[in-house]
Amino acid sequence: MKPLILVSNDDGITSKGILTLINVMKTLGDVIVVAPDGPQSGMGHAITVGETLRLEENFIFEGVKAYECSGTPADCVKMARHFVLKDQRQPDVVVSGVNHGSNTSISVLYSGTMSAAIEGAIEGTPAIGFSLCDFSHDADFSHAEEYIRKITKQVLDKGLPKGIALNVNFPPKRNEAIKGIRLCRQANAKWVEEFDERYDPNGRRYFWMAGNFVNFDKGEDNDEWAIANNYVSIVPCQFDLTAHQALPVLNEMWEIL
């Protein structure tokens, strides 16, 4: 029996990246798509609470059952598992992307792409988020296809540790071929924000978030280094945010315990 592969993303069901991902997944198994009906970038792990969710079948992909959802990427995975596939066979892997833009370093916390993958991991399914470090609307995904297939096949054949989702980032298309794959840690980097104060035609004040990405990491074992040096980066991520190393320190420091 072919594996069942659930595909989602955060750029929306009509994005170029999800079409690339679906075409690769069709060579590996049976594909079902549940993706947002419009862009949901930067949503993190938001879910829809107190508002309606809508789900409609979409016939955009030939030979692939697909649904568009009004909710977030995490909503899409939940809807796929608990409504579309309710009382049916559950997916063998959840794949998300391919995102238009980097999700390296701290961006993983804001990423809708990775939230879909992490939701899969929460549900106990091996999961992968794929991102291309190129924000242009006409970005070339072709050099990533071989690696998408190779990484997904490894996960299908070998599995992942429980509760782990892979954050995979590809360098942009360059004149030289990708050098290979690096298993990495998340780089110590962050966005340093600035808020541009502006006024609309009615004189009402609004703000536009801007800023710069600053990499404080000098190591060669992190995702930022890998991408800069034309490698595919893979960072294993977990949804348990407990700082386990801090527990004994706090127990010793605090007098109230």
Per-residue pLDDT tens over the stretch 60-79? 999 999 999 999 999 999 99
The average pLDDT across 10-16 equals 95
At a CB cut-off of 8 Å and minimum separation 6, what does 155 contact?
93, 126, 128, 166
- Is 70 annotated as a binding-site member? no
Banded model confidence at residue 42, pLDDT cuts 50, 70, 90: confident
- Is 41 annotated as a binding-site member? yes
Banded model confidence at residue 22, pLDDT cuts 50, 70, 90: very high
Tokens 């942009």, located at residue: 172
pLDDT of residue 257: 56
What amino acid is encoded at 168 in this protein? V
- Is 10 annotated as a binding-site member? yes
At a CB cut-off of 8 Å and minimum separation 6, what does 195 contact?
207, 208, 209, 210
215-250 residue pLDDT tens: 999 999 999 999 999 999 999 999 999 999 999 999
- Cα–Cα dist 214/74, whole Å: 28
How many residues comprise the chain?
Answer: 257
- Cα–Cα dist 100/130, whole Å: 9
Q: Over the chain, what is the mean pLDDT?
A: 95
At a CB cut-off of 8 Å and minimum separation 6, what does 255 contact?
none
What amino acid is encoded at 187 in this protein? A
Banded model confidence at residue 187, pLDDT cuts 50, 70, 90: very high
pLDDT of residue 136: 84
pTM of the model: 0.94
pLDDT of residue 236: 98
- Cα–Cα dist 90/180, whole Å: 32
- Domain range 4-187+219-253, its CATH number among 3.10.105.10, 3.40.1210.10, 3.40.718.10, 3.30.450.20: 3.40.1210.10
- Cα–Cα dist 31/232, whole Å: 24
30-40 residue pLDDT tens: 999 999 999 88
- Is 223 annotated as a binding-site member? no
